[in-house]
Amino acid sequence: MIDSKLPNFRAMSPAQRLTHVAQAAGLDDAEHALLAKPGALPLDTANGMIENVVGTFELPMAVAGYFQLNGRDVLVPMAVEEPSIVAAASYMAKLAREAGGFRTSSTGPLMRAQVQVVGVSDPYGARLAILKHRDELIEMANARDKVLIGLGGGCRDIEVHVFPDTPRGAMVVAHLIVDVRDAMGANTVNTMAETVAGRIEEITGGKVRLRILSNLADLRLARAQVRYSAATLQTKAYSGEDVIAGVVDAYLFAAIDPYRAATHNKGIMNGIDPVIVATGNDWRAVEAGAHAYASRGGRYTSLTTWEVANNGDLVGTIEMPMPVGLVGGATKTHPLARLALKIMNVSSAQELGEIAVAVGLAQNMGALRALSTEGIQRGHMALHARNIALAAGASGADIDWVVKKMVAARNVSVDYGMSLLQGPRDE
């Protein structure tokens, strides 16, 4: 059984951390070696993934610890360039363990394919005509993917939306609702949409234009909940009750103000995107769905909620689209994406989505806690100082020395780092 606690992880060398994770996740020698060396993505493989390949590009890959979901410990690989993200998520996950960690759930893996019909003078009549042929169209769509049907998936239903008055006249849009199982589903639903397009033209007398999935995957939701007591959140400078009040006030700011909500939700995606990238999934699709979902009420708002329970505990929740997969695309072709999934020990796309939103919720809590107490810069800049030291020209043992000096002086800047390197090495 995996133990996600990572005590003293920051003090270890990268090699020591990798050995610890490899043992915890049950990686074999070849997998350990693959993570240990740069350039784990072979150029030939990269050349087959996209066009015009000239090389590969690497990001730091870390593992967030202490996550516990529904009673199960999970190690979470994250690929990201920004400091403080992994540390903040891990710390909030550590605090969450005192109340049982994260509780997660999700809906089925349903995706939408849209078929746009133009050139109809009776759009509502066209809608009913499509619905009359619902069973026929579903059968046509499912005939194109026998493998998916064999796995228990397939087209489940058809919705039809009418836009009676556009600058180009009436428009009818049919939605194929498809259970894509453990795939992200783009190729599957796009193929199904193209399969039924001709028949929809015959049924409606109109012209089909677009046949494409929707990234607003509002039928494929992942949810997470977490609880923190006042005693857990207490610090030397702030009572737990003050921290809770500050977090709730910060959340409400995002709930009412789209300018704040944009930054608030970016912080949530700071946690989610690195998980999506590490597993070879489409982070652009997840981002698009997240921000569209945050606007579903007609106004852009927070993806999370933070409330105070009857006993005074802080309770956070998140619910958002999570169109991710375990099969197809880079998830299967990128060697490190496959290893990331093994480290997480996930068995379904729904489980992966639940892990991702739990990390997003933890990251959000970390940001709100910092913002409402000491400010975001103190902790963030201390971690960011290593990047600044490198930019200033520090290397080897000088890195830690420059970081220590910049943090002590509260001057984390390239200019100050360069001046330190040019001066005496006093301690």
Average pLDDT per 10 consecutive residues for the chain, totaling 427 residues: 92 94 96 91 93 95 98 98 95 98 98 98 98 98 94 97 97 98 96 98 98 98 98 95 97 98 98 98 98 98 98 98 94 95 97 98 97 71 76 85 85 88 78
Sheet holding 110-118, edge to edge: 154-166, 169-179, 110-118, 207-213
Write the DSSP string, 337-400.
HHHHHHHHT--SHHHHHHHHHHHHHHHHHHHHHHHTTT-HHHHHHHHHHHHHHHHHT--TTHHH
- 52 and 195: one domain? no
Please check whether residue 1 lies inside any domain of the structure. Answer: no
- 121 and 99: one domain? no
Please check whether residue 4 lies inside any domain of the structure. Answer: no
- 338 and 413: one domain? no
**pLDDT of 375:** 66
**pLDDT of 24:** 95
Identify the domain boundary among 214, 232, 257: 214
**pLDDT of 408:** 82
Number of domains in the chain: 3
CA distance 52 to 201: 37
**pLDDT of 37:** 87
- 81 and 117: one domain? no
- 200 and 244: one domain? no
Please check whether residue 3 lies inside any domain of the structure. Answer: no
**pLDDT of 191:** 97
Which residues, other chains included, contact 109 with Cβ-Cβ below 8 Å and sequence gap of 6+? 153, 179, 180, 181, 182, 183, 185, 220, 349, 350
Which residues, other chains included, contact 114 with Cβ-Cβ below 8 Å and sequence gap of 6+? 173, 174, 175, 193, 210, 211, 212, 213, 214
Please check whether residue 412 lies inside any domain of the structure. Answer: yes
CATH of the domain at 232: 3.90.770.10
Please check whether residue 279 lies inside any domain of the structure. Answer: yes
**pLDDT of 167:** 97
Please check whether residue 41 lies inside any domain of the structure. Answer: yes
CB 213 within 8 A of CB 315: no
- 167 and 276: one domain? no
CA distance 322 to 60: 23
**pLDDT of 374:** 76
Identify the domain boundary among 196, 214, 232: 214
Active site residues: 82, 266, 282, 380
**pLDDT of 328:** 85
Please check whether residue 163 lies inside any domain of the structure. Answer: yes
Q: Which domain holds residue 186?
A: 110-214
Please check whether residue 54 lies inside any domain of the structure. Answer: yes
CATH of the domain at 168: 3.30.70.420
- 240 and 368: one domain? yes
- 290 and 362: one domain? yes
CA distance 330 to 196: 28
- 417 and 359: one domain? no
- 231 and 192: one domain? no
Going by their DSSP bridges, the two strands 169-179 and 154-166 should be labelled as antiparallel
- 43 and 66: one domain? yes
- 272 and 403: one domain? no
Identify the domain boundary among 358, 374, 390: 374
